[in-house]
Amino acid sequence: MSRWRPGARERLEEAAIELFVEQGFAATTVPQITARAGLTTRTFFRHFADKREVLFGGDEIPGMATRMIEQAPAGDDPMTVILDGLRAVTAARFEGRRDELRVRREIVRSDPGLRERDLRKRDSLRLAISAGFQARGIDPLRAALLAETAVMLLFVSFDEWLDQPGDRTLITIIEDALTALRQAIA
């Protein structure tokens, strides 16, 4: 038998989300989280840089984007690379998790600080995509525009996907959004 129960990080994440739902993010203190998880305050900050990070841990989407842009066939058009990437990301990290992601979005929406962190995560993705395209020889301004477009398509469609009453897949909504975007800015 170990001195400590394993899975400290996971227990902290679960306890935190439970408490955020029960009493709100701001009203939840780190000692409350660690008490429920059976750990100390100091240990919480060894696993998470700050209180918000417990909701955003383990998000490797920027890394996925970097790899997929690297490995895309050399001749592929950038928009093709983006759509293939979005197809892979949505399948791996979004489809089938709609209820869980709705709960998470509700928590994030309830607190401006969490909203800020969420936006920074999106910005990390933007940076990764932009750097990836620049590595393929695309000029910085064009790479930035492509990255912004990819992130816009993903998250505008993400909200639509969570809000819709039906069961359209996220990638379908993204493809329609791209069509609507082309028409809107023409």
Partner DNA sequence: TACGTGATGACATCACGTGTCATCACGAGC
Partner DNA sequence: GCTCGTGATGACACGTGATGTCATCACGTA
Query: Least CB distance from residue 57 to DNA, whole Å?
Result: 13
Partner whose binding site includes residue 79, from DNA, its own copies, none (CB under 5 to 8 Å by kind): its own copies
Query: Least CB distance from residue 127 to DNA, whole Å?
Result: 22
Instruction: Tell me: does residue 179 bind DNA (CB under 7 A).
Output: no
Query: Least CB distance from residue 78 to its own copies, whole Å?
Result: 7
Q: Report the C-alpha gap between 59 and 44 in whole angstroms.
A: 18
Among 119, 135, 168, 172, binds its own copies (CB under 8 A): 119
- Find the part of the chain contacting DNA (CB under 7 A) among 39-47, 66-74, 77-85, 121-129: 39-47
Q: Under DSSP, is residue 112 helix (H, G, I), strand (E, B) or coil?
A: helix
DSSP states of 36-96 = HHT--HHHHHHH-SSGGGGGTTT--HHHHHHHHHHHS-TT--HHHHHHHHHHHHHHHHTTT
102 vs 120, beta carbon nearer its own copies: 120
Q: Report the C-alpha gap between 182 and 171 in whole angstroms.
A: 17
Cα 11 to chain center, whole Å?
Answer: 21
In 3D space, the residue among 110, 95, 111 whose CA is nearest the CA of residue 168 turns out to be 95
Instruction: Tell me: does residue 43 bind DNA (CB under 7 A).
Output: yes
Among 35, 36, 45, 121, binds DNA (CB under 7 A): 45
Instruction: Tell me: does residue 46 bind DNA (CB under 7 A).
Output: yes
